[in-house]
Amino acid sequence: MTTKNAFYAQSGGVTSVINASACGLIQTARLHSDKIGTVYAGLNGIIGALQEELIDTSFESDEAIAALRYTPAGAFGSCRYKLKSLDANRAEYERLIDVFKAHNIGYFFYNGGGDSQDTAHKVSQLGEQMGYPLTCIGVPKTVDNDLPITDNCAGFGSVAKYVAVSMREASFDVASMCATSTKVFVMEVMGRHAGWIAAAGALAADENHDIPLVILFPEIEFNESKFLAAVDEKVKSYGYCCVVVSEGVKNSEGQFLAEAGGKDAFGHAQLGGAAPVIANLIKQSLGYKYHWAVADYLQRAARHIASKNDVEQAFAVGKAAVEFALAGKNAVMPTIVRLSDAPYQWKIDSVDLKDVANVEKMMPSEFISENGFGITPACRAYLQPLIAGEDYPPYKNGLPDYVVLKKCVVAKKLPEFKV
Amino acid sequence: MTTKNAFYAQSGGVTSVINASACGLIQTARLHSDKIGTVYAGLNGIIGALQEELIDTSFESDEAIAALRYTPAGAFGSCRYKLKSLDANRAEYERLIDVFKAHNIGYFFYNGGGDSQDTAHKVSQLGEQMGYPLTCIGVPKTVDNDLPITDNCAGFGSVAKYVAVSMREASFDVASMCATSTKVFVMEVMGRHAGWIAAAGALAADENHDIPLVILFPEIEFNESKFLAAVDEKVKSYGYCCVVVSEGVKNSEGQFLAEAGGKDAFGHAQLGGAAPVIANLIKQSLGYKYHWAVADYLQRAARHIASKNDVEQAFAVGKAAVEFALAGKNAVMPTIVRLSDAPYQWKIDSVDLKDVANVEKMMPSEFISENGFGITPACRAYLQPLIAGEDYPPYKNGLPDYVVLKKCVVAKKLPEFKV
């Protein structure tokens, strides 16, 4: 087996553990330097490959690579850039192959969601057609937990933990104040299509913490009167109510609540913010004092409260990607297979990229409670292990001591390419 | 010294460590059961005293009281209820004294901000006038850090840590994405009058983390063009910019940005949300893609990321309150005195309540950088120790195992009283 270099890129919205996958991948590659030479990383994702901006990760110390395990977001930069279909823009795929050739890259590791798995799959096909065989391995990543086949996605467990912890804490706050002040607290969470993150909010309550929660899933069309009745019932019985609203909730006209046409103080279209819309609706209809929060990036960057299981799985899929490549697998993605709920046991397997690409996994209906505002015991059993365990980063001066890489970009060998 | 019972109440907006003060206070009282009999706690704060709804804390186990140290929000319930002046509503003060008499209460511990210290002071005066001498001790609490004389307030360090950690994490996220996506991230934080919490956002950056930050303090009138120029300069030089906006920022007409008259999708007045206003302004004026977050209750309930120094100080002021009472002090509040910055050393002292009541401590001008958008080295030296150290709660099933008390209310002895 001749030595080939590797290319690794982070794709799409980052997570608090995508760098843990990078850590697993680079550390494992370093153990096999007889087969994998330099690991290059795309500066800002796949755009780095197209523009031949390749970070030479061998300039990063072992300590820096180890620190990726506890550093959130994309240490090499990520991008939202979906390659078009092969027919529509074959030139982009050919450029990728040219860059890989120029830098003796034989391994392509693409760390992202459904779109990225699709890209990795196409690149593997094209490499073959162009007589430049490439080993293409997808590395799953998404806070949305919407990839098929794998039991869950690296990145989801930590955002789920953040949402569950935050909602439990906020519910304690509201419970303290509700006698004379705030009665409804609304928290908006991510998940434009799938309600997995919203579902995690329901974990705030358990057998020792009886917290009145109403969850709004993007899978369920928003029904104003039914929702208001549910909130009112909780306030009347508990004195307060906590609402988790997914950013993806739509009204009966199919519009996102967050984009249904409001104007801000400057007269500009109000962009984003399902939580204030829901909170105002409650105030106007039920008269309850409210507070609302929009966690936004805080939730997916919250490495300080990452799930230990999630960190371990993120590391494991990165490591497995290299091991699969070295074992001769191609056009596959590591998957997480659940062996048992309690005790939670899992292993890594693999799936062909063609079976993953462009399939979105929504919350199954048997995970949403009958009234549409909560989760079922089956959903709880599924979610619970994914948020389990803590994995704290090291701190310095009261703050997480996250690493910033050197990101040394190697000299270009090819003409410029316009993206 | 005869045995008298004690009354403890939590007041105003809760914090992630106010229960740590309750823990220090009740544990210390339990060590002195020869002098302090039962510690009663007001159900929902001072309203519990007025309505004679007294929680008998002796029904709470030692384990439950110990767990208050790591449980956020107000375990006995709090309220936003300011007693009027003695002239305006003497009946309320007399009712308090009547309830205290009926339950043989000789110690009044009031855990709150400036208003509460004022109330404790008045109750102490009135008790004397009515021939029912009471020992009244204030216990400082406020996320806003706006009490005078004490170097800082229990509750502030933890919200400051939450804001600094969250902003560091979010900045890593934005830095990853800014090449092709979000260029400006705006986070709204608490602090309607004083900018201490906003200032803490500046700690996200340090000598190892060069993060472009623009801070909007409530002490500084919002200047749109100067602000936009500052943001634009950061984006041009770093590729992105992070903005911390205090909920208390006002425009040149003296209106809160968050309440400057926007309408939501239902046509309702938009209440709250300086962050979306700022974000939209940036989009409209500079064209940059943005994200925004409003942390709201999440920040002040975030016991999972509390500052160790803050927890210790919250405990210490609760403990000191009882020790002062037993030492014969009256109408005082424990203060935190800074002995040195590095190493950080502090001790507890006391101040007369009359000197604390109704004085708000704003950010001094020498703590705000010349351009008005950052903090000075002096401010950093002040803030840094307050967020130092971690003090994690225990976890169960992936979530903090916060305690819920029994809250057994004793039988009433007096006629009803309308609040």
Write the CATH number of the domain with boundaries A156-300. Answer: 3.40.50.460
**How many Å apart are CA B29 and CA A53, to the nearest integer?**
66
Q: Which tokens is A306 given? A: 């990452």
Q: What is the mean pLDDT of residues A158-168?
A: 98
**Ramachandran region, residue B55 (left: φ > 0; alpha: ψ -120 to 50; beta: rest):** beta
CATH architecture assigned to A4-142+303-358+389-400: 3-Layer(aba) Sandwich (3.40)
Across A370-397, b (16+ Cβ under 10 Å) vs e yields eebbbbbeebbebbbbbbbbbbebebeb
CA–CA gap between residue B123 and residue A381 (Å, rounded): 53
Chain A CB contacts of B185 under 8 Å are: 296-297
* Range in A126-130, A198-202, B337-341, B362-366 the model is least confident about: A126-130
Residues 6+ apart with CB under 8 A from B342: B381, B385
CB contact under 8 A, A14 and B177: yes
Q: Tell me if domain B4-142+303-358+390-400 and domain B156-301 are identical in fold.
A: yes
Residue boundaries of the structural domains of chain A: 4-142+303-358+389-400, 156-300
Place of tokens 């309930």: B301
SS3 B59: helix
Higher pLDDT, A189 or B128: A189
- A72 CA to chain B: closest CA distance, Å? 7
**Cis status, amide bond into B343, omega within 30 of 0:** yes
Residue of B190, B241, B186 lying closest to B218 (CA atoms)? B190
Q: Does the beta-carbon distance from A276 to B260 stay under 8 Å? A: no
Amino acid B272: pLDDT: 62
| pLDDT computed for residue A2 by the predictor | 84
Round the CA-based radius of gyration of chain A to a whole number and report it: 23
Q: Is A144 a catalytic residue?
A: yes
Q: Between 3.20.20.70, 1.10.3720.10, 3.20.20.140, 3.40.50.450, what CATH number should domain B4-142+303-358+390-400 receive? A: 3.40.50.450
Q: Are A414 and A105 in contact (CB under 8 A)?
A: no
Look at residue B72 and tell me whether its pLDDT is greater than 60: yes
B188: enclosing H helix or E strand: strand B184-189
Residue reference for tokens 């369920």: A220
Distance from CA of B280 to the nearest CA of A (A): 7
Residues of B annotated as catalytic (active site), given as ranges: 144
Q: Return the pLDDT at A263.
A: 55
Q: How many CA atoms lie within 13 A of A34 on its CB side?
A: 2
Distance CA A119, CA B411 (A): 70
Which of A56, A98, A144, A310 is labelled catalytic?
Answer: A144
Mean of pLDDT values over B311-335: 98
pLDDT of residue A353: 96
Best CATH choice for the domain B156-301 from the list 2.60.40.1930, 3.40.50.460, 3.40.1160.10, 3.30.200.210: 3.40.50.460
Q: How many CB atoms lie within 10 A of CB A284?
A: 14
Which has more confidence, A271 or B251? B251
pLDDT value, residue A381: 98
Residues of B in contact with A387 (CB under 8 A): 397-399
| b/e code A186-219 from CB counts within 10 Å (16+ = b) | bbbbbbeebbbbbbbbbbbbbeebebbbbbbbbb
Q: In terms of Cα–Cα distance, which of A351, A173, A299, A287 is closest to B402?
A: A173
Confidence of residue B143 (pLDDT cuts 50, 70, 90): very high
- What's the pLDDT score for residue A262? 55
Cis amide leading into A385 (omega within 30): no
CA distance B281 to chain A (A): 8
Tens of pLDDT, residue by residue over B207-235, are 999 999 999 999 999 999 999 999 999 99
CA pair distance A296, B273, nearest whole angstrom: 14
Least reliable range by pLDDT among A112-121, B214-223, B260-269, B398-407: B260-269
The question of ipTM being above 0.95 is answered as yes
Q: Going by DSSP bridges, is the β-strand pair B105-112/B135-140 parallel, antiparallel, or unpaired?
A: parallel
For residue B415, the Cα-to-chain-centroid distance in whole angstroms is 35
Per-residue model confidence as pLDDT tens digits over B233-277: 999 999 999 999 999 999 888 888 887 655 554 555 545 689 999
- Per the structure block, which two tokens stand in for A345? 């046991």
B248 Cβ contact list (under 8 Å, min separation 6): B191, B192, B193, B194, B195, B218, B256
